[in-house]
Chains A and B, each alone.
Chain A
Amino acid sequence: MRTILYLIRKEFLQIFRDKFIGKAIFAVPLVQMVLLVPAVTFEIKNINLGIIDRDMSPVSRNLISRLEGSGFFKITCFTHSEEEANNMLHRNRCDMILHIPEGLDKETTSGRVCPVMVSVNAINATTAQLSWAYLNGVLQDYNIDIIRQNAAVTTLSAMPQIKVTNRYWYNELLNYKYYMLPGILAILVTAIGFLLAGLNLVKEKETGTIEQINVTPIKKYQFITAKMVPFMIIGLVDLALGLILGKILFDIPFRGSIGLMFLCSAIFLAGVLGLALLISTFSSTQQQYMFIAFFFMIIFILMSGIFTPMDSMPLWARKFDIINPMAYLMKIYRMIMLKGSAFSDIARDFYSLLILAAVFMSLAVRKYRKTA
């Protein structure tokens, strides 16, 4: 036990002796919170809209001013020429084009249907769909008004219709920061546990210091424990730091139990530390480790459901997420923070994470015993 404490003391001494890492450990959560949380958002504002108005009527002008007033659109091109508008789309000056044909006013006031056309730049499918949805919303509203006006003229009774009012639970204002922040925290914790710890392990091999350690009576479990504990602590401290910053900067809601969140994080860290150890036994240089770890990180992050909802992933991807510790952590963080989930709500994910951590760790220890 005393040996482990000496080893841990040595690790901390080395980590904080490193002028860069010592500072980066605290700077990274700060930068991630300040920059990434507000930057990574799906809210789309300032969609560049091009308009071809062939009608130039009160109805078309009214529609255009409604679009401008919605706050989503910025009209960057106003023309009569289809060619010019398409050209603007080509040159990325417009994200979408609304094509109002001649006769909009005449057709709608006389109670007939008039088609309008929308062209959307779909290089980014998400933006395209959302832009279209916003535009469609404005058109729908305007449509109902037109129908109402027409109806008021022809009949006196109100039009029968279903009126939908909705409420967004757990994040009423659809604040993307609330959605992203737990995800960013999960990435932060992973980076500490997976990258820093693994690189540290490989460094001992690369610089040859492991050889001197191996001829001492230090046992392997003592060495591994001493390598993991510091990064477990740093990971949790960074998580706390991230949460405090989130509260101060974005007033992030925290509805659940902080203790539960840290418990889950500790289990998660044990899992990724195990994985780091496993990969480190295969790599003999920090470069090799970095390359493989980066590959895993990307897969874990992109498939964790941080950006894309897991339910929309194909079946095989959801099957893969059974062994993706980040998928569980992402879910647990969001549920605890935004929904206030108790242990019973996340029990399934909790136990999955626990099993995963146990499997990774035992694989790693077994492999480590054989190699080093």
Chain B
Amino acid sequence: MQKVIEASGIAKNFGNTQALRGISFDVNEGEIFGFIGPDGAGKTTLFRIITTLYLPDEGSMTVLGVDCVKGYRKLRENIGYMPGRFSLYMDLSVEENLRFYASVFGTTIEENYELIKDIYSHIEPFKTRLAGQLSGGMKQKLALSCALIHKPRLLVLDEPTTGVDAVSRTEFWEMLGKLKAHNITVVVSTPYMDEATKCDRVALIQEGQILSVNPPEVLKDSFTRKLFYVKASDKYNLLKILRSFPLTISAYPFGDSIHTTFSKDNPLGDLNEYLLSKGINDFSISEGRAGIEDRFLELMGTESIHYQ
């Protein structure tokens, strides 16, 4: 399979801040490749390098077969970019924005209408409305339409669903799925773990480093330990007690339960005793399936130990 992005050892510093510390990854043609990581992990910096807005300090990156530093001119014609912040002209109407971006790429709305039809049809009834007066979800659809209007081979989306309602988020991911039919590769970042399952492959990124790259299913299965869901009415106290339990490796609150891992494969007997001795009677323990978030936290945990 052809590689759309090949990056090796990409590093970028801003003063004393190391935004990216030697990142390497490949993106295959036609896949949806997700970057998942907390705020400040370096996702936006990485995307700006992919889209030729920043130059990397170290390392090399080939995008669509051309070097992203030397071939930036050629690249810009084939990349669609949707920055994290809405960057279209607020004082131009929906249609004017779309027409403008079509014209600077030397194309027209009509020529590539097929490609954006599914997305644009949602906002077409409001095409005379100023972009600044659109709702968050509609702004996002317009931004995606504008990023697609020149039929790019690679679409780079920086946190496209941040600040968008749940229904629009689901719709948005459905639309991204449809782009595969047009052989458009999508690189997308998100802080939402649940969206990772919709990607073909996911890179977990933290503090400028990639922790792992895997399909979401593999990522979940690669969880190394048994995971237990522990519940009790006094959750805060339970968390403190679990963390003080000598066999506990990690304990993170998720919804109404605490996802906990232990250094022993069958810690239940010891745990029962310990919890009772600490005065917690109404607890329940069950073995659970790990989600991406669990895997991410696990990776983060080992990394931070590694740093120390």
CB distance from B53 to the nearest CB of A (A): 6
B76, A216: Cβ atoms closer than 8 Å: yes
| Cβ contacts under 8 Å, B85 to chain A | 208, 211
> How many residues from B make CB contacts under 8 Å with A?
25
A209, B51: Cβ atoms closer than 8 Å: no
CB distance from A309 to the nearest CB of B (A): 45
CA distance A109 to B277 in the complex (A): 125
CA distance A10 to B131 in the complex (A): 14
Whose C-beta in chain A lies nearest to the C-beta of B100?
A: A10
| Cβ contacts under 8 Å, B103 to chain A | 2-3, 6
CB distance from A76 to the nearest CB of B (A): 55
Mark interface residues in B56-85 (1 if CB within 8 Å of A CB, else 0): 000000000000000001001101010101
Residues of B155-182 whose CB lies within 8 A of A: none
Whose C-beta in chain B lies nearest to the C-beta of A222?
A: B104
| Cβ contacts under 8 Å, A211 to chain B | 53, 83, 85, 87
CA distance A18 to B92 in the complex (A): 10
CA distance A216 to B51 in the complex (A): 10
CB distance from B80 to the nearest CB of A (A): 8
A6, B92: Cβ atoms closer than 8 Å: no
| Cβ contacts under 8 Å, B100 to chain A | 6, 10
CA distance A208 to B82 in the complex (A): 12
Whose C-beta in chain A lies nearest to the C-beta of B79?
A: A215
CB distance from B128 to the nearest CB of A (A): 12
Residues of A1-39 whose CB lies within 8 A of B: 2-3, 6-7, 10, 13-14, 17-18
Is B229 close to A, CB under 8 A?
no
- Secondary structure dominating the interface of B: loop
Is A159 close to B, CB under 8 A?
no
Mark interface residues in B137-162 (1 if CB within 8 Å of A CB, else 0): 00000000010000000000000000
Is B101 close to A, CB under 8 A?
yes
CA distance A213 to B97 in the complex (A): 12
Mark interface residues in B170-202 (1 if CB within 8 Å of A CB, else 0): 000000000000000000000000000000000
Is A115 close to B, CB under 8 A?
no
Is B236 close to A, CB under 8 A?
no
Is A225 close to B, CB under 8 A?
no
CB distance from B210 to the nearest CB of A (A): 23
A10, B92: Cβ atoms closer than 8 Å: yes
Residues of A211-249 whose CB lies within 8 A of B: 211-218
Of A2, A10, A18, the most chain B CB neighbours within 10 A belong to A10
| Cβ contacts under 8 Å, A213 to chain B | 104
Known contacts A3-B104, A216-B101, A218-B104; is A209 also within 8 Å of B76 by CB?
no
Whose C-beta in chain A lies nearest to the C-beta of B143?
A: A212
Of B52, B90, B91, the most chain A CB neighbours within 10 A belong to B91
CA distance A217 to B52 in the complex (A): 11
Whose C-beta in chain B lies nearest to the C-beta of A216?
A: B104
> How many residues from A make CB contacts under 8 Å with B?
21
| Cβ contacts under 8 Å, B81 to chain A | 212, 215
A212, B87: Cβ atoms closer than 8 Å: yes
A209, B105: Cβ atoms closer than 8 Å: no
CB distance from B149 to the nearest CB of A (A): 11
CA distance A215 to B63 in the complex (A): 14
CB distance from A213 to the nearest CB of B (A): 8
A18, B91: Cβ atoms closer than 8 Å: yes
CA distance A316 to B111 in the complex (A): 63
Whose C-beta in chain A lies nearest to the C-beta of B51?
A: A215
CA distance A98 to B108 in the complex (A): 81
B76's contact among A3, A207, A215, by CB below 8 Å, is which? A215
| Cβ contacts under 8 Å, A3 to chain B | 103-104, 106
CA distance A17 to B93 in the complex (A): 10
CA distance A230 to B90 in the complex (A): 20
Known contacts A215-B53, A217-B105; is A208 also within 8 Å of B83 by CB?
yes
CB distance from A222 to the nearest CB of B (A): 9
| Cβ contacts under 8 Å, B90 to chain A | 207
| Cβ contacts under 8 Å, B6 to chain A | none
CA distance A209 to B104 in the complex (A): 14
| Cβ contacts under 8 Å, B105 to chain A | 216-217
| Cβ contacts under 8 Å, B53 to chain A | 211, 214-215
A217, B73: Cβ atoms closer than 8 Å: yes
| Cβ contacts under 8 Å, B91 to chain A | 14, 17-18
| Cβ contacts under 8 Å, B76 to chain A | 215-217
A209, B77: Cβ atoms closer than 8 Å: no
B88, A215: Cβ atoms closer than 8 Å: no
Of A14, A207, A210, the most chain B CB neighbours within 10 A belong to A207
| Cβ contacts under 8 Å, B106 to chain A | 2-3, 217
A13, B83: Cβ atoms closer than 8 Å: no
B79, A209: Cβ atoms closer than 8 Å: no
Whose C-beta in chain A lies nearest to the C-beta of B48?
A: A211
List 17 contacting pairs A-B, 8 Å CB cutoff, sorted by A. A2-B103, A3-B103, A10-B89, A10-B96, A14-B92, A18-B91, A208-B85, A212-B83, A212-B88, A215-B76, A215-B79, A216-B101, A217-B76, A217-B77, A217-B104, A217-B106, A218-B104
User: A-contacting residues of B (Cβ < 8 Å)?
Assistant: 51-53, 73, 76-77, 79, 81, 83, 85-92, 96, 100-101, 103-106, 146
- Other A-B pairs, 9, CB within 8 Å; known A6-B100, A217-B105: A2-B103, A3-B104, A14-B89, A14-B91, A17-B92, A211-B87, A212-B146, A216-B104, A217-B73
